[in-house]
Structure 1
Amino acid sequence: MTNVALIGCTGMVGAHILTSLLANSSITRVDTISRRTPQAAGASPQPKLTTFVSDDTSKWASQLSSLTPTPSIFISAFATTRGAAGGFENQYKIEHGLNVELAKAARDAGTKVYVLISSSGADIKSGFGYTKMKGEIEEDVKALGFERTVILRPGLITGQRDESRPMEAAVRFVAGAFGKLHSSLKDGWAQDADVIGKAAVNVGLKALDGDVPAGSEKVWVLYGSDIIQHGKA
Protein backbone atom coordinates (compact mmCIF):
# COMPACT_ATOMS: atom_id res chain seq x y z
CA MET A 1 0.00 0.00 0.00
CA THR A 2 1.30 3.44 -0.94
CA ASN A 3 1.30 6.99 0.41
CA VAL A 4 1.53 9.85 -2.08
CA ALA A 5 2.07 13.60 -1.71
CA LEU A 6 0.97 16.01 -4.44
CA ILE A 7 1.49 19.69 -5.23
CA GLY A 8 -0.32 21.44 -8.05
CA CYS A 9 -3.57 19.67 -7.16
CA THR A 10 -5.81 22.59 -8.15
CA GLY A 11 -4.48 22.92 -11.70
CA MET A 12 -5.94 21.30 -14.79
CA VAL A 13 -3.61 18.28 -14.76
CA GLY A 14 -3.14 18.21 -10.99
CA ALA A 15 -6.87 17.93 -10.35
CA HIS A 16 -6.99 14.83 -12.57
CA ILE A 17 -3.94 13.38 -10.82
CA LEU A 18 -5.73 13.80 -7.51
CA THR A 19 -8.87 12.13 -8.85
CA SER A 20 -6.79 9.19 -10.11
CA LEU A 21 -4.95 8.87 -6.79
CA LEU A 22 -8.19 8.80 -4.83
CA ALA A 23 -9.67 6.18 -7.15
CA ASN A 24 -6.64 3.87 -6.96
CA SER A 25 -7.15 1.10 -4.41
CA SER A 26 -3.41 0.53 -3.95
CA ILE A 27 -2.96 4.05 -2.57
CA THR A 28 -3.88 4.35 1.11
CA ARG A 29 -3.14 8.02 1.79
CA VAL A 30 -2.91 11.18 -0.32
CA ASP A 31 -1.52 14.45 1.05
CA THR A 32 -1.96 17.66 -0.93
CA ILE A 33 -0.26 21.01 -0.36
CA SER A 34 -1.82 24.00 -2.08
CA ARG A 35 -2.95 27.62 -1.91
CA ARG A 36 -6.60 26.66 -2.48
CA THR A 37 -8.67 23.74 -1.29
CA PRO A 38 -8.75 21.12 -4.06
CA GLN A 39 -12.17 20.52 -5.57
CA ALA A 40 -12.07 16.83 -4.65
CA ALA A 41 -11.92 17.73 -0.96
CA GLY A 42 -15.21 19.59 -1.10
CA ALA A 43 -17.26 17.11 -3.10
CA SER A 44 -17.79 14.13 -0.78
CA PRO A 45 -15.86 12.72 2.20
CA GLN A 46 -12.45 11.40 1.13
CA PRO A 47 -11.10 9.32 4.03
CA LYS A 48 -7.63 8.90 2.54
CA LEU A 49 -7.19 12.57 1.55
CA THR A 50 -5.43 15.07 3.83
CA THR A 51 -5.10 18.66 2.65
CA PHE A 52 -2.78 21.45 3.76
CA VAL A 53 -3.92 24.83 2.44
CA SER A 54 -1.81 27.96 2.89
CA ASP A 55 -1.03 31.08 0.86
CA ASP A 56 2.32 31.19 2.64
CA THR A 57 4.39 28.94 0.39
CA SER A 58 7.37 29.25 2.76
CA LYS A 59 5.51 26.76 4.99
CA TRP A 60 5.10 24.14 2.30
CA ALA A 61 8.51 22.45 2.59
CA SER A 62 8.26 22.03 6.36
CA GLN A 63 4.75 20.63 5.96
CA LEU A 64 5.97 18.09 3.44
CA SER A 65 8.92 17.16 5.67
CA SER A 66 6.61 16.54 8.62
CA LEU A 67 4.25 14.10 6.89
CA THR A 68 3.90 10.76 8.67
CA PRO A 69 4.22 8.24 7.21
CA THR A 70 6.68 9.59 4.66
CA PRO A 71 5.19 9.60 1.14
CA SER A 72 6.67 6.88 -1.05
CA ILE A 73 5.86 8.97 -4.12
CA PHE A 74 5.91 12.75 -4.51
CA ILE A 75 4.17 14.19 -7.58
CA SER A 76 4.51 17.76 -8.79
CA ALA A 77 2.07 19.25 -11.26
CA PHE A 78 2.83 22.68 -9.82
CA ALA A 79 3.15 25.54 -12.30
CA THR A 80 2.13 29.15 -12.72
CA THR A 81 1.90 31.66 -15.58
CA ARG A 82 3.78 34.83 -16.37
CA GLY A 83 0.56 36.81 -15.99
CA ALA A 84 -0.41 35.33 -12.64
CA ALA A 85 3.10 35.78 -11.28
CA GLY A 86 3.47 39.35 -12.50
CA GLY A 87 6.24 38.79 -15.03
CA PHE A 88 8.67 36.05 -16.01
CA GLU A 89 11.19 36.82 -13.27
CA ASN A 90 8.57 36.17 -10.61
CA GLN A 91 7.26 33.16 -12.52
CA TYR A 92 10.75 31.65 -12.44
CA LYS A 93 11.17 32.33 -8.73
CA ILE A 94 7.82 30.72 -7.94
CA GLU A 95 7.75 27.79 -10.35
CA HIS A 96 11.42 26.83 -10.34
CA GLY A 97 11.99 27.81 -6.72
CA LEU A 98 9.07 25.93 -5.18
CA ASN A 99 9.46 22.84 -7.36
CA VAL A 100 13.10 22.42 -6.41
CA GLU A 101 12.58 23.33 -2.75
CA LEU A 102 9.74 20.84 -2.34
CA ALA A 103 11.66 18.15 -4.23
CA LYS A 104 14.59 18.60 -1.81
CA ALA A 105 12.24 18.34 1.16
CA ALA A 106 10.74 15.11 -0.22
CA ARG A 107 14.19 13.65 -0.95
CA ASP A 108 15.46 14.50 2.52
CA ALA A 109 12.34 12.98 4.12
CA GLY A 110 13.01 9.67 2.39
CA THR A 111 10.60 9.72 -0.56
CA LYS A 112 11.72 7.16 -3.13
CA VAL A 113 9.99 8.24 -6.35
CA TYR A 114 9.55 11.75 -7.74
CA VAL A 115 7.13 12.40 -10.62
CA LEU A 116 7.26 15.73 -12.46
CA ILE A 117 4.82 17.11 -15.01
CA SER A 118 7.10 19.08 -17.31
CA SER A 119 6.78 20.16 -20.96
CA SER A 120 7.72 18.69 -24.34
CA GLY A 121 9.97 21.68 -25.10
CA ALA A 122 11.93 21.58 -21.82
CA ASP A 123 15.59 22.32 -22.57
CA ILE A 124 18.22 24.10 -20.49
CA LYS A 125 19.79 25.34 -23.76
CA SER A 126 16.54 26.82 -25.07
CA GLY A 127 16.48 30.46 -26.13
CA PHE A 128 12.97 30.79 -24.74
CA GLY A 129 12.65 31.60 -21.06
CA TYR A 130 9.73 29.26 -20.36
CA THR A 131 11.18 26.11 -21.94
CA LYS A 132 14.61 26.88 -20.47
CA MET A 133 13.02 27.18 -17.02
CA LYS A 134 11.28 23.81 -17.48
CA GLY A 135 14.61 22.26 -18.49
CA GLU A 136 16.36 23.72 -15.46
CA ILE A 137 13.66 22.35 -13.14
CA GLU A 138 14.19 18.90 -14.65
CA GLU A 139 17.97 19.03 -14.31
CA ASP A 140 17.91 20.38 -10.75
CA VAL A 141 15.46 17.68 -9.69
CA LYS A 142 17.44 14.90 -11.36
CA ALA A 143 20.56 16.10 -9.52
CA LEU A 144 18.83 15.43 -6.18
CA GLY A 145 19.26 11.70 -6.71
CA PHE A 146 15.88 10.20 -5.94
CA GLU A 147 15.79 6.41 -6.17
CA ARG A 148 13.77 7.01 -9.33
CA THR A 149 12.79 10.25 -11.08
CA VAL A 150 9.93 10.17 -13.59
CA ILE A 151 9.38 13.10 -15.96
CA LEU A 152 6.29 13.46 -18.13
CA ARG A 153 6.71 15.81 -21.08
CA PRO A 154 3.24 16.34 -22.57
CA GLY A 155 2.65 18.49 -25.62
CA LEU A 156 -0.34 20.80 -25.67
CA ILE A 157 -2.53 19.92 -22.70
CA THR A 158 -6.18 19.75 -23.69
CA GLY A 159 -9.09 20.06 -21.31
CA GLN A 160 -11.03 22.74 -19.44
CA ARG A 161 -9.03 25.32 -17.50
CA ASP A 162 -10.50 27.47 -14.75
CA GLU A 163 -8.61 30.55 -15.89
CA SER A 164 -9.00 32.19 -19.30
CA ARG A 165 -6.23 31.62 -21.87
CA PRO A 166 -7.82 32.64 -25.21
CA MET A 167 -4.88 31.73 -27.47
CA GLU A 168 -4.44 28.34 -25.88
CA ALA A 169 -8.19 27.72 -25.94
CA ALA A 170 -8.21 28.24 -29.69
CA VAL A 171 -5.46 25.66 -30.20
CA ARG A 172 -7.20 23.25 -27.84
CA PHE A 173 -10.34 23.61 -29.97
CA VAL A 174 -8.35 22.61 -33.06
CA ALA A 175 -6.83 19.66 -31.19
CA GLY A 176 -10.28 18.54 -30.10
CA ALA A 177 -11.60 18.75 -33.65
CA PHE A 178 -8.69 16.67 -34.97
CA GLY A 179 -9.18 14.16 -32.17
CA LYS A 180 -12.81 13.66 -33.16
CA LEU A 181 -11.71 12.80 -36.69
CA HIS A 182 -9.10 10.33 -35.46
CA SER A 183 -7.02 10.13 -32.29
CA SER A 184 -3.81 9.79 -34.32
CA LEU A 185 -4.28 13.34 -35.63
CA LYS A 186 -4.03 14.70 -32.09
CA ASP A 187 -2.21 12.28 -29.79
CA GLY A 188 1.26 13.04 -31.11
CA TRP A 189 1.16 16.73 -30.20
CA ALA A 190 -1.70 17.15 -27.70
CA GLN A 191 -2.79 15.04 -24.76
CA ASP A 192 -5.92 15.30 -22.61
CA ALA A 193 -5.39 16.41 -19.01
CA ASP A 194 -7.21 13.39 -17.60
CA VAL A 195 -4.99 11.03 -19.59
CA ILE A 196 -1.87 12.81 -18.32
CA GLY A 197 -3.23 12.58 -14.79
CA LYS A 198 -3.83 8.85 -15.02
CA ALA A 199 -0.43 8.33 -16.62
CA ALA A 200 1.34 10.21 -13.81
CA VAL A 201 -0.21 7.92 -11.22
CA ASN A 202 0.33 4.72 -13.19
CA VAL A 203 3.99 5.37 -13.98
CA GLY A 204 4.68 6.57 -10.45
CA LEU A 205 3.45 3.25 -9.09
CA LYS A 206 5.41 1.33 -11.73
CA ALA A 207 8.58 3.23 -10.80
CA LEU A 208 8.03 2.44 -7.13
CA ASP A 209 7.83 -1.26 -8.04
CA GLY A 210 10.93 -1.00 -10.23
CA ASP A 211 8.88 -1.69 -13.35
CA VAL A 212 10.67 0.77 -15.66
CA PRO A 213 12.11 0.44 -19.18
CA ALA A 214 15.69 -0.72 -19.59
CA GLY A 215 18.02 2.25 -19.42
CA SER A 216 15.54 4.26 -17.34
CA GLU A 217 16.34 2.81 -13.94
CA LYS A 218 17.19 6.21 -12.44
CA VAL A 219 15.42 8.68 -14.75
CA TRP A 220 12.40 7.76 -16.85
CA VAL A 221 11.22 10.38 -19.36
CA LEU A 222 7.86 9.96 -21.09
CA TYR A 223 6.68 11.88 -24.15
CA GLY A 224 3.29 12.15 -25.83
CA SER A 225 2.87 8.59 -27.09
CA ASP A 226 4.21 7.15 -23.82
CA ILE A 227 1.77 9.28 -21.84
CA ILE A 228 -1.11 8.11 -24.02
CA GLN A 229 -0.05 4.49 -23.55
CA HIS A 230 0.15 4.66 -19.75
CA GLY A 231 -2.78 7.03 -19.35
CA LYS A 232 -5.19 4.83 -21.26
CA ALA A 233 -3.93 1.52 -19.87
Structure 2
Amino acid sequence: MILKEKTALLVGATGLVGGHLLHILLEQPAYDKVKIFTRRNIQLDHPKLEQIVVDFDHLEQYVDHMHVDDVYCCLGTTIKKAGSKEAFRKVDFEYPLVMAKMAKQCGASKFLMVTSIGADSKSSFFYVQVKGDVEEEVKKVGLSSVHVFQPSLLLGSRSESRPRERAIMMVSPLIKLIARGKWSQYSPIQAKDVAEAMYRVGQSQRQGNHVYHYEQIMSK
Protein backbone atom coordinates (compact mmCIF):
# COMPACT_ATOMS: atom_id res chain seq x y z
CA MET A 1 0.00 0.00 0.00
CA ILE A 2 1.34 3.42 -0.99
CA LEU A 3 0.81 5.97 1.76
CA LYS A 4 -0.25 9.47 0.79
CA GLU A 5 2.40 12.09 1.37
CA LYS A 6 1.20 14.63 3.90
CA THR A 7 2.00 18.31 4.37
CA ALA A 8 1.51 20.43 7.48
CA LEU A 9 1.39 24.21 7.66
CA LEU A 10 2.42 25.90 10.89
CA VAL A 11 1.74 29.56 11.65
CA GLY A 12 3.41 31.03 14.72
CA ALA A 13 6.56 28.92 14.62
CA THR A 14 8.61 31.47 16.58
CA GLY A 15 6.24 31.48 19.58
CA LEU A 16 6.48 29.43 22.75
CA VAL A 17 4.16 26.61 21.64
CA GLY A 18 4.91 26.99 17.94
CA GLY A 19 8.65 26.63 18.46
CA HIS A 20 8.21 23.28 20.17
CA LEU A 21 5.62 22.17 17.64
CA LEU A 22 7.88 22.98 14.70
CA HIS A 23 10.57 20.62 15.96
CA ILE A 24 8.00 17.89 16.62
CA LEU A 25 6.54 18.20 13.12
CA LEU A 26 10.00 17.99 11.59
CA GLU A 27 11.21 15.11 13.75
CA GLN A 28 8.13 12.89 13.57
CA PRO A 29 7.37 10.86 10.42
CA ALA A 30 3.72 11.86 9.93
CA TYR A 31 4.51 14.68 7.49
CA ASP A 32 6.75 14.63 4.44
CA LYS A 33 6.78 18.44 4.25
CA VAL A 34 6.33 21.15 6.86
CA LYS A 35 5.57 24.68 5.70
CA ILE A 36 5.72 27.71 7.96
CA PHE A 37 4.36 31.21 7.43
CA THR A 38 6.80 33.64 9.01
CA ARG A 39 7.58 37.35 8.99
CA ARG A 40 11.26 36.58 8.47
CA ASN A 41 13.35 33.48 7.82
CA ILE A 42 14.33 31.60 10.95
CA GLN A 43 17.77 30.08 11.42
CA LEU A 44 16.82 26.48 10.86
CA ASP A 45 17.69 24.17 8.00
CA HIS A 46 15.84 20.88 7.54
CA PRO A 47 15.03 18.86 4.40
CA LYS A 48 11.30 18.79 5.27
CA LEU A 49 11.05 22.50 6.03
CA GLU A 50 9.76 25.15 3.63
CA GLN A 51 9.76 28.72 4.92
CA ILE A 52 7.35 31.20 3.34
CA VAL A 53 7.98 34.82 4.33
CA VAL A 54 4.59 36.53 4.34
CA ASP A 55 2.93 39.87 4.96
CA PHE A 56 0.30 38.88 7.52
CA ASP A 57 -1.83 41.86 6.59
CA HIS A 58 -2.24 40.35 3.12
CA LEU A 59 -2.43 36.63 3.83
CA GLU A 60 -4.79 36.03 0.91
CA GLN A 61 -1.84 36.57 -1.44
CA TYR A 62 -0.32 33.30 -0.23
CA VAL A 63 -3.31 31.04 -0.80
CA ASP A 64 -1.32 28.86 -3.23
CA HIS A 65 0.73 27.67 -0.25
CA MET A 66 -2.40 26.56 1.61
CA HIS A 67 -2.91 23.29 -0.26
CA VAL A 68 -1.90 21.23 2.75
CA ASP A 69 -3.42 18.47 4.87
CA ASP A 70 -3.36 20.03 8.34
CA VAL A 71 -3.01 23.62 9.56
CA TYR A 72 -1.55 24.35 13.00
CA CYS A 73 -2.19 27.91 14.19
CA CYS A 74 -0.10 29.04 17.17
CA LEU A 75 -0.44 32.78 16.63
CA GLY A 76 -0.72 34.91 19.74
CA THR A 77 0.63 38.02 21.37
CA THR A 78 -0.06 40.37 24.28
CA ILE A 79 -1.58 43.83 24.26
CA LYS A 80 1.70 45.20 25.63
CA LYS A 81 3.78 43.59 22.90
CA ALA A 82 1.28 44.41 20.14
CA GLY A 83 1.10 48.03 21.25
CA SER A 84 -2.68 48.45 21.31
CA LYS A 85 -5.93 46.55 21.62
CA GLU A 86 -6.49 46.95 17.89
CA ALA A 87 -3.09 45.46 17.04
CA PHE A 88 -3.65 42.63 19.51
CA ARG A 89 -7.02 41.78 17.95
CA LYS A 90 -5.42 41.73 14.50
CA VAL A 91 -2.91 39.05 15.56
CA ASP A 92 -5.20 36.98 17.76
CA PHE A 93 -8.46 37.29 15.84
CA GLU A 94 -8.07 38.50 12.26
CA TYR A 95 -5.02 36.46 11.21
CA PRO A 96 -6.25 33.09 12.58
CA LEU A 97 -9.69 33.64 11.03
CA VAL A 98 -8.19 34.41 7.63
CA MET A 99 -6.03 31.28 7.95
CA ALA A 100 -9.10 29.18 8.75
CA LYS A 101 -11.00 30.52 5.73
CA MET A 102 -8.03 29.83 3.46
CA ALA A 103 -7.70 26.32 4.92
CA LYS A 104 -11.37 25.68 4.13
CA GLN A 105 -10.97 27.08 0.61
CA CYS A 106 -8.00 24.83 -0.09
CA GLY A 107 -9.45 21.66 1.41
CA ALA A 108 -7.33 21.18 4.53
CA SER A 109 -8.39 18.21 6.63
CA LYS A 110 -7.79 19.74 10.06
CA PHE A 111 -7.39 23.16 11.66
CA LEU A 112 -5.75 23.15 15.08
CA MET A 113 -5.35 26.37 17.06
CA VAL A 114 -4.25 27.66 20.47
CA THR A 115 -6.42 30.16 22.34
CA SER A 116 -6.69 30.50 26.12
CA ILE A 117 -8.47 29.13 29.15
CA GLY A 118 -11.60 31.12 29.84
CA ALA A 119 -12.11 32.14 26.21
CA ASP A 120 -15.54 33.79 26.13
CA SER A 121 -16.90 36.16 23.52
CA LYS A 122 -19.28 37.61 26.13
CA SER A 123 -16.58 38.38 28.68
CA SER A 124 -15.89 41.95 29.78
CA PHE A 125 -12.18 41.04 29.89
CA PHE A 126 -10.85 42.04 26.47
CA TYR A 127 -8.17 39.33 26.20
CA VAL A 128 -10.48 36.34 26.72
CA GLN A 129 -13.25 38.08 24.77
CA VAL A 130 -11.04 38.16 21.68
CA LYS A 131 -10.08 34.52 22.23
CA GLY A 132 -13.75 33.61 22.46
CA ASP A 133 -14.57 35.63 19.35
CA VAL A 134 -11.97 33.86 17.24
CA GLU A 135 -13.10 30.43 18.44
CA GLU A 136 -16.71 31.16 17.50
CA GLU A 137 -15.86 32.58 14.09
CA VAL A 138 -13.43 29.80 13.16
CA LYS A 139 -16.07 27.21 14.02
CA LYS A 140 -18.50 28.98 11.65
CA VAL A 141 -16.09 28.65 8.71
CA GLY A 142 -17.28 25.10 8.08
CA LEU A 143 -14.06 23.12 8.35
CA SER A 144 -14.67 19.43 8.87
CA SER A 145 -12.27 19.17 11.80
CA VAL A 146 -11.42 22.02 14.22
CA HIS A 147 -9.41 21.47 17.40
CA VAL A 148 -9.05 24.30 19.92
CA PHE A 149 -6.49 24.10 22.72
CA GLN A 150 -7.18 26.28 25.76
CA PRO A 151 -4.11 26.26 28.02
CA SER A 152 -3.78 28.36 31.15
CA LEU A 153 -0.40 29.97 31.90
CA LEU A 154 2.21 28.61 29.50
CA LEU A 155 5.50 27.60 31.06
CA GLY A 156 8.79 27.70 29.16
CA SER A 157 11.66 29.94 28.15
CA ARG A 158 10.57 33.09 26.35
CA SER A 159 12.77 35.47 24.39
CA GLU A 160 11.03 38.50 25.92
CA SER A 161 10.80 39.38 29.59
CA ARG A 162 7.42 38.98 31.31
CA PRO A 163 7.94 39.73 35.04
CA ARG A 164 4.35 38.91 36.03
CA GLU A 165 4.54 35.50 34.35
CA ARG A 166 7.92 34.77 35.97
CA ALA A 167 6.37 35.45 39.37
CA ILE A 168 3.46 33.12 38.66
CA MET A 169 5.84 30.45 37.38
CA MET A 170 7.65 30.50 40.72
CA VAL A 171 4.45 29.52 42.52
CA SER A 172 3.10 27.26 39.77
CA PRO A 173 3.80 24.06 41.77
CA LEU A 174 1.48 25.42 44.49
CA ILE A 175 -1.15 26.35 41.91
CA LYS A 176 -1.06 22.82 40.49
CA LEU A 177 -1.39 21.42 44.00
CA ILE A 178 -4.60 23.32 44.75
CA ALA A 179 -6.06 23.22 41.20
CA ARG A 180 -8.13 20.06 41.53
CA GLY A 181 -11.34 18.86 39.95
CA LYS A 182 -13.05 21.51 37.84
CA TRP A 183 -10.23 23.93 38.69
CA SER A 184 -7.57 21.71 37.10
CA GLN A 185 -8.05 23.50 33.78
CA TYR A 186 -6.39 26.55 35.34
CA SER A 187 -3.16 24.67 36.09
CA PRO A 188 -0.02 26.15 34.48
CA ILE A 189 1.23 23.93 31.69
CA GLN A 190 4.47 23.46 29.79
CA ALA A 191 4.30 24.81 26.25
CA LYS A 192 5.98 21.61 25.07
CA ASP A 193 3.06 19.58 26.45
CA VAL A 194 0.60 21.70 24.46
CA ALA A 195 2.68 21.23 21.31
CA GLU A 196 2.82 17.47 21.83
CA ALA A 197 -0.95 17.35 22.32
CA MET A 198 -1.53 19.33 19.13
CA TYR A 199 0.60 16.91 17.16
CA ARG A 200 -1.11 13.91 18.76
CA VAL A 201 -4.59 15.23 17.99
CA GLY A 202 -3.43 16.13 14.50
CA GLN A 203 -2.92 12.45 13.81
CA SER A 204 -6.42 11.49 14.93
CA GLN A 205 -9.43 11.13 12.67
CA ARG A 206 -11.84 13.10 14.90
CA GLN A 207 -14.33 15.19 12.97
CA GLY A 208 -16.27 18.21 14.17
CA ASN A 209 -15.34 20.91 16.69
CA HIS A 210 -13.38 19.96 19.82
CA VAL A 211 -11.95 21.91 22.77
CA TYR A 212 -9.07 20.71 24.95
CA HIS A 213 -8.31 21.89 28.50
CA TYR A 214 -5.50 20.92 30.85
CA GLU A 215 -6.57 17.33 31.52
CA GLN A 216 -7.27 16.58 27.85
CA ILE A 217 -3.97 18.16 26.80
CA MET A 218 -2.05 16.11 29.35
CA SER A 219 -3.84 12.88 28.42
CA LYS A 220 -1.45 10.68 26.46
- Coordinate RMSD, CA, aligned: 2.3
Distance 1:14 1:187 in 2: 23
Deviation sequence 1:131-165 (CA, Å, 0-9, x none): 00000000010000111100111111111111111
Match of 1:109 among 99, 106, 109: 106
* Gap runs ≥5 in structure 2: none
The equivalent of 1:196 in structure 2 is 194
SS in 1 for 2:203: helix
SS in 2 for 1:27: coil
> Cα distance, 1:176 vs. partner?
5.1
Supply the AA of the counterpart residue of 1:52: I
> Cα distance, 1:52 vs. partner?
1.2
The equivalent of 1:46 in structure 2 is 46
The equivalent of 1:18 in structure 2 is 22
Supply the AA of the counterpart residue of 1:57: F
Distance 1:178 1:119 in 2: 17
In structure 2, the CA distance between the partners of 1:87 and 1:59, relative to structure 1 (3 Å rule), is closer
Supply the AA of the counterpart residue of 1:219: N
Match of 2:38 among 34, 49, 54: 34
Deviation sequence 1:152-199 (CA, Å, 0-9, x none): 1111111111111100111112215777x8x98x97511101110111
Supply the AA of the counterpart residue of 2:120: D
In structure 2, the CA distance between the partners of 1:178 and 1:221, relative to structure 1 (3 Å rule), is closer
The equivalent of 1:8 in structure 2 is 12
> Cα distance, 1:67 vs. partner?
2.0
Distance 2:30 2:82 in 1: 37
Q: Does 1:61 align with 2:75?
A: no
Q: Does 1:223 align with 2:213?
A: yes
- Give the alignment of 1:152-163 within 5 angstroms: 152-163=149-160
Normalized against structure 1, the TM-score is what? 0.84
Percent sequence identity over aligned pairs: 29
Match of 1:170 among 162, 167, 171: 167
Distance 1:38 1:143 in 2: 33
Match of 1:81 among 65, 78, 82: 78
Deviation sequence 1:34-73 (CA, Å, 0-9, x none): 113345x2xxx3111101124x22343322x2127x2110
* Gap runs ≥5 in structure 1: none
Normalized against structure 2, the TM-score is what? 0.89
> Cα distance, 1:100 vs. partner?
0.7
SS in 1 for 2:131: helix
Do 1:14 and 1:77's aligned partners in 2 also have CA atoms closer than 8 Å?
A: yes
Match of 2:94 among 85, 94, 97: 97
